[in-house]
Amino acid sequence: MSKFKDCIIVGAAAAVGFASTAVAATGPRVITLAAIEPKGGALVEKEAFPTAKLPEGAGVVLKEPNKDGRWEIAAYIWSAPQITVNQGDDVTLQFVGVNGASHPTTIEGYDQAFTLTRGEVRNVSFKADKAGVFRIICTTHGPTMVSELIVTPKS
């Protein structure tokens, strides 16, 4: 475990608990975010097909019942809904494309923009020199594929 002393990894398994990263570590911060697509479904004989309006955008996909009466719903998300670092930290966000063909991504306030594709690992490094809350947005899969980068101010 010592090789991970200065590394916080939030993978697809963390998405189940929707855990956020903790403020800690000395030295460079490496935080991994996976582009994932949790899915669920049911048979209409057990659960009625939902009729409520879905959020605008491609982040939530609802499939009509098939010939067997099974319907499905999926949502695109980043595996970490919030990431907290200290102002002044050297940060590397490691993005992993697991689900979805393409994720045009912007980190607001840090002039970072790139497109992540399935099977790709992309590192984005910067100094967290501005305190505040900054959104990490996939512009294709909004409004659900948004995380927050929280930079706590120096004391």
Domains and CATH numbers, the chain: 2-36+76-152 (2.60.40.420), 39-75 (no CATH)
H or E, element range at 70: strand 70-75
The pLDDT assigned to 17 comes to: 38
Task: Give the pLDDT of residue 26.
Answer: 59
pLDDT at 51 over 60: yes
Give 150 or 17, the one with higher predicted confidence.
150
pLDDT at 20 over 50: no
3-state secondary structure of 17: helix
> pLDDT band at residue 27, thresholds of 50, 70 and 90?
low
Question: Is the pLDDT at 18 greater than 90, yes or no?
Answer: no
Mean pLDDT of 57-85: 97
Chain-wide mean pLDDT for the chain? 86
Least confident of 16-25, 82-91, 93-102, 129-138: 16-25
Tell me which of 23 and 140 has the higher pLDDT.
Answer: 140
Whether pLDDT at 76 is above 60: yes
Neighbours of 11 (CB within 10 A): 14
pLDDT at residue 6, rounded to an integer: 34
Give the model's confidence band at 12: pLDDT under 50 very low, under 70 low, under 90 confident, else very high: very low
Q: Cα dist. 143→46, 56, 139 in Å?
A: 29, 7, 8
Q: In sequence order, which ranges of the chain are alpha helices (DSSP H)?
A: 12-17
Q: φ and ψ at 91, to 5 degrees?
A: -120, 140
